[in-house]
Amino acid sequence: MEDTAADAHEGDIDVTTDASAPWLVVGLGNPGPGYAMNRHNVGFMVADLLAERIGGKFKRAQKAQAQVVEGRIGPPGPGSRRVVLAKPASYMNLSGGPVNALREFYKVPVANIVAVHDELDIDYGTLRLKLGGGDNGHNGLKSMTKAMGPDYHRVRCGIGRPPGRMQVADFVLKDFSPAERKDLDWFVDRAADSVEALLADGLERAQSAYNS
């Protein structure tokens, strides 16, 4: 399977996006119940919680190899944002194709795409939001960047480095440890909050509130 490494570059630039354009929030992970609680699948967990919050259920996309939920994030009124939540149905290293197909179908500017993903070079439970930058070995980001360039947002969910001499691939494709699971609900909830803040308030304010 796909091993991953963190993108250590800290992007802090912001962009002005079309307020009427939809957002595409992509949780990165591997499909299937065998991967569901893997560290590599924290992006799926965040997407699932966001779908629950907007009262939607994932269904197969018509034009892409992905599961999607359509809805709105934010308070009723002009501050509400149209959003498509997505979980690619491909494996992590092929995420770019489904994401790009969704981007084209829903006519989403690249700057309105948010990738939610695991991050090795950040301590467990820590969040970092950024726009653009490299992939630094993360195969999901690498595939997305190849498909549509690097100028999309990222919500980076820290999982820490593997202990001892454990291989990266073994670490990310293992379930969260019992100790980690004690805080996992809180971590996923906070990551979902950060996505909502990014869409509602913009990158700079969301970074101020959630980057640590």
Q: Please tell me which residue in 9, 40, 117, 138 is annotated as part of the active site.
A: 40
- Residue-by-residue DSSP string for the chain: ------------------TTS-EEEEE----SGGGTTBGGGHHHHHHHHHHHHTT---EE-SSSSEEEEEEEESSSSTT-EEEEEEEESS-GGGTHHHHHHHHHHHT--GGGEEEEEEETTS-TT-EEEEES---TT-HHHHHHHHHH-S-SEEEEEE--PPSTT--HHHHHTSBPPHHHHHHHHHHHHHHHHHHHHHHHH-HHHHHHHH--
Active site residue 138: no
Cα–Cα distance for residue pair 3/137, rounded to 1 Å: 8
Kindly list the catalytic residues: 40
